[in-house]
Structure 1
């Protein structure tokens, strides 16, 4: 039997997953990367995107992360995400409603608002989450 990789994904709210898997593919800021058991140690930052957990040749879980760090050690892979959700628990219609409400707020506050950049960043996050849900 092939070696398994210990994988843990943690957000400030909670631990979303911890267990033994075959392979994890994550959205690094320098490009997507994969980690198998016995991978060489490294640390990198993450961009918004989908973390795919594979068992055998099949994707067993899709988690959406909002930035963070990935740390590969001899003990396995740990992802510390700024925010993370299991895509199976997300509703695309609700994400669209959130986007619509946020767009209205952005337009009402205008570009001179002190919150404009943060609101635009939140909107970009929701757009990427919606795109991940459609794939």
Structure 2
């Protein structure tokens, strides 16, 4: 059986989760990462996506995050999210508002760099929308 480690999911509003788990899948900007006990130290940025958590009793749980940072150490993992909610609590209208805002940012972008960032965020949000629909 996999060894448990401490995981914390924190948003500016509150601490969403703080418990011993055996695995967490994080949507990093460079790709999804699976973190387990004794992982090599790493700090990475997080893109909008679904964080999947597996507890020692085999229970799976999911949270939606809208960006942030993850700090991984051999002893634990802390995800500091810009915004996060349990997947069951995600509101379709909130996600649609974020997609609309990203679309407006894309249309209003004046530099190539700003346009690329807005396009990337818009793509991530649309992918997140599809992932939530499938869940």
Q: TM-score, with normalisation over the residues of structure 1?
A: 0.72
Does the 8 Å CA contact 1:6/1:19 hold for their aligned counterparts? Answer: yes
Equivalence map 1:62-73=2 (5 Å): 62-73=62-73
The secondary structure found in structure 2 opposite 1:132 is helix
List structure 1 segments (4+ residues) > 6 angstroms apart after TM superposition: none
Q: Which residue does 1:13 correspond to in 2?
A: 13
Deviation by residue 1:71-101 (Cα, 9 ceiling, x = unmatched): 1113300001111111111243x3476479x
Aligned length, in residue pairs = 124
CA-CA distance at 1:13 after TM superposition: 1.1
Q: Which residue does 1:88 correspond to in 2?
A: 88
Q: Which residue does 1:53 correspond to in 2?
A: 53
Q: Which residue does 2:131 correspond to in 1?
A: 132
The secondary structure found in structure 2 opposite 1:134 is helix
The secondary structure found in structure 1 opposite 2:62 is strand
Distance in 2 (CA, whole Å) between partners of 1:99 and 1:79 is 21
Does the 8 Å CA contact 1:26/1:50 hold for their aligned counterparts? Answer: yes
Cα RMSD, aligned residues only: 3.1
Unaligned 5+ segments in structure 2 are: 110-114
The secondary structure found in structure 2 opposite 1:12 is coil
CA-CA distance at 1:14 after TM superposition: 0.9
Unaligned 5+ segments in structure 1 are: none
